[in-house]
Amino acid sequence: MIMPSIDLKGTIVSDDDKWLYDFVGLDAVCPADIRKGLADANGEDVVVVISSGGGDVMAGNEMAYDLGAYKGQTTADISGFCGSAATIVSCGAGKVRAYPSTMYMIHNVSSGASGDYHAMEQQSMILQTANKAISNLYRQKTGLSEKELLDLMDRETWMDAATAKEKGFVDEIIGESGAKAPFTINGSFGNILSDEAKQKIRNMFLCRNPTPDMTDKEQEILVAKEQLKLMRMKGDVL
């Protein structure tokens, strides 16, 4: 019997931002995608295939929670690269398996900020708190101390599958003990849209928002025209 699987590939984004990535043709996954996959699995054991360079930390936390709360057995199979927020998701699964050529990366939380020195101090405090919060999840998974984990994050630590297993982030390497990979190897680094880019896309779309009297065909044509414009801006087409 084939176990139900959920693809977690591309950038991890919030539910609110997912349509922006779909609109410009970038691979992305949001918490709602994971919840739908789990609902479709309907309590059966499920595999989450991860190939992601990370993205939104809060969205990653949501996904990890949903995996942890699922009533069936959850297994995270890392098919290529698991970095940043994607490692948070992997820690939410009951078991983590990795292909021998997997790369696993943890680092400090980062964000874009602006304002005076008070705002910068506040942002620094928030980021350090976020680092500790994530280290708590890593500590539950690995058994390593908070100090060691924060040090690994501070140095932006890259690990191969064997090292990730030695540190406790990975439970099993696919190919060892007869474990087989039910997927094609595929790595993906996150393509994270900046806040400025997101707003430009929203503005572009809202300026030509479909009206209630438009037919479905007319709305499809409108969206296609905007997608073509974005592709030209990106240089994908002439």
Residue-wise pLDDT for 50-70, tens only, equals: 999 999 999 999 999 999 999
Banded pLDDT at 46 (limits 50, 70, 90)? very high
* pLDDT score of 181: 47
Q: Topology of 5-177 in CATH?
A: 2-enoyl-CoA Hydratase; Chain A, domain 1 (3.90.226)
Q: What is the pairing mode between strands 172-177 and 95-98?
A: parallel
Q: What's the mean pLDDT when you consider all of the chain?
A: 85
User: pTM, whole model, 2 decimals?
Assistant: 0.77
Question: Which SS3 state, helix, strand or coil, does residue 113 take?
Answer: coil
Stronger pLDDT, 110 or 171, i.e. the higher one: 171
Instruction: Please compute the mean of the pLDDT values over residues 30-38 and round it to a whole number.
Output: 97
Show Cβ contacts of residue 76 under 8 Å, excluding neighbours closer than 6 positions: 47, 48, 50, 67, 89, 90, 92, 93, 95, 96, 97
Percent of the chain at pLDDT exceeding 70:
74
* pLDDT score of 188: 43
For residue 103, pLDDT beyond 60: yes
Instruction: Please state which of the ranges 32-41, 95-104, 194-203 shows the lowest mean pLDDT.
Output: 194-203
- CA atoms 205, 211, 214, 215: torsion sign: positive
Residues of the chain within CATH 3.90.226.10 domain(s) are 5-177
- CA atoms 131, 136, 142, 145: torsion sign: positive
